[in-house]
Structures are given as C-alpha cells and as structure tokens.
C-alpha cells in the first residue's frame, strides 16, 4: 500500500534546475571552465559544494583554490541562483503537480520534499505549495544524493516504511538514491538518461503523474 510520496524539488516540482545550470555555467565561465548540458546532468541533485568540486575537476582545476575561495565561488553561484528565483510564482509549478498534491491530500497520503537544496523552503513559499507538504527534509548534516539518506529521512518524517514509498526525481543521482533507499523510483525526463540509473517508471512530463498511474505502476 502506498504510504507516502517523496518529491525531489528542482526539476520535479518546478523548473529551477535550469536556474541552477545558468548560475553554475556563469560561475564556471568566470574562472575559465566551460560546462555544457551533458555535463550538467552529472550536477543535478548534487549538493552545492560537491557540485563545485565536480566542476573544478571537470576543468582540471581541483588544486587551484583554497577552501575559502571555494566557499566564495559557491556563494557567488548561490547569490545569482537566488536572484534568478526572484520572479518565481505559483504559475511556475510544473503541470500536474498541484493536482497530484491535491489528490494525495484528499487521500491522506503524506507528501514530503526530499531535496538536496538549502533553498527549498524559499521556493515552496514562492510557489505557495507549503500547505500540501507534510514536511521538508533538512539536507544539512546528512550525506547527499546518490546516498539514500535524504529519502530515508523523508520516509521517516512521513512515518512510512521505505517499501511503501514512491520517490520522484529528475536526476541520475536522485534515482540512485531512491533505489538505494529501497523505494519505487519514478524518473521525470529522458529514458536514455534516467533508465541506466535504475528508474522503475519514466515519464517524459509531470503531466503524466496522476495518483492512479503511480498506484498502478508501483503495484500499490
């Protein structure tokens, strides 16, 4: 039986994944590193400082910066990211998400945010979706995706067994995290990109995410 639905945020609830990409690309460019959308797939779902490390390795610059300089680079990225979020309104919620959240609430099935982002509360506020979520995982101090911890913590907050949870993700790291947590993994995006990470069901758009579809495909 379905006990809880665990939502990734960036790239599942709204299109903020594109803002992360813009802000990282600009930061990387300032230090002479070029990142393209293929490389960006390996950044999705990855915590801020880890993302920076991946970019530095990608540019062959992992030895160049002190801890303090890295913190400055990450802060600059986040400042630009937060300024890109300024225009976010409820209209930016991906199609079908509010309807799914509504159905879950009617059925008293808890929805929890399982995001790596420290900006999650700010984004949910801007989208006016707070009331639909039972809880938001605090990603601080727990291992990031692809480790299962963020999803396990989300299940715990919902009072659910991992085996009774469906996790929804747009990233390779996130799908791996859901599977490592022993849950049913729904990928949003391209089957060629998310299939190899182990997604159980892949939808090209959030429009396909109805409660009925989840229940039938997860066999719950």
Annotated binding site: 8-10, 24, 43-48, 51, 77, 115-119, 145, 169-170
Quick check: is 8 catalytic? yes
Return the number of the residue (113 or 201) whose C-beta is nearest ligand B16: 113
Q: Write the interaction track for Mg ion spanning residues 21-60; mark x where CB under 5 A is met and - where it is not.
A: ------------------------x---------------
- Nearest approach, Cβ of 53 to ligand B16 (angstroms)? 11
User: In the set 97, 112, 116, 211, which binds ligand B16 (CB under 6 A)?
Assistant: 116
- Nearest approach, Cβ of 171 to Mg ion (angstroms)? 5
Of these partners, Mg ion, ligand B16, none, which one is at the site of residue 153 (CB under 5 to 8 Å by kind)? Answer: none
Q: Give every CB contact of residue 48 below 8 A, 6+ residues apart in sequence.
A: 74, 77, 78, 118
Q: Give every CB contact of residue 168 below 8 A, 6+ residues apart in sequence.
A: 5, 6, 7, 8, 12, 186, 188, 209
Catalytic residue among 8, 15, 36, 38: 8
> What's the 3-state SS for 110-170?
CEEECCCCCCHHHHHHHHCCHHHCCEECCCCCCCCCCCCHHHHHHHHHHCCCHHHEEEEEC
Question: CA-to-CA distance for 35 and 154, rounded, in angstroms?
Answer: 32
Question: CA-to-CA distance for 206 and 72, rounded, in angstroms?
Answer: 35
Number of residues binding to ligand B16, judged by CB under 6 A? 20
Residue number of the CB closest to ligand B16 reads: 115
Write out the catalytic residue numbers: 8, 10
């Amino acid at each position: 039986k379905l006990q809880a639905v665990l939502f990734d945020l960036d790239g599942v609830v709204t299109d903020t994944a594109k803002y992360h990409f813009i802000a990282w690309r600009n930061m990387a460019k300032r230090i002479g590193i070029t990142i393209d959308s293929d490389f960006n797939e390996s950044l999705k779902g990855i915590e801020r400082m880890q993302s920076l490390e991946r970019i530095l390795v990608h540019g062959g610059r992992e030895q160049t910066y002190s801890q303090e300089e890295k913190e400055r680079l990450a802060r600059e990225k986040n400042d630009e990211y937060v300024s890109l979020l300024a225009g976010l309104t409820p209209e930016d919620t991906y199609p079908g998400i509010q309807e799914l959240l509504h159905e879950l609430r009617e059925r008293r099935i808890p929805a929890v945010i399982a995001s790596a982002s420290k900006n999650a509360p700010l984004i949910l506020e801007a989208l006016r979706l707070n009331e639909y979520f039972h809880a938001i995982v605090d990603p601080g101090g727990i291992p990031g995706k692809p480790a299962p911890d963020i999803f396990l913590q989300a299940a715990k907050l919902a009072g659910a067994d991992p085996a009774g949870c469906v996790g929804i993700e747009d990233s390779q790291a996130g799908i791996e995290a859901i599977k490592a947590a022993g849950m049913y993994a729904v990928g949003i995006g391209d089957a060629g990109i998310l299939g190899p990470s182990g997604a159980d069901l892949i939808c090209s758009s959030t429009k396909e995410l109805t409660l009925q579809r989840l229940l039938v495909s997860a066999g719950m």
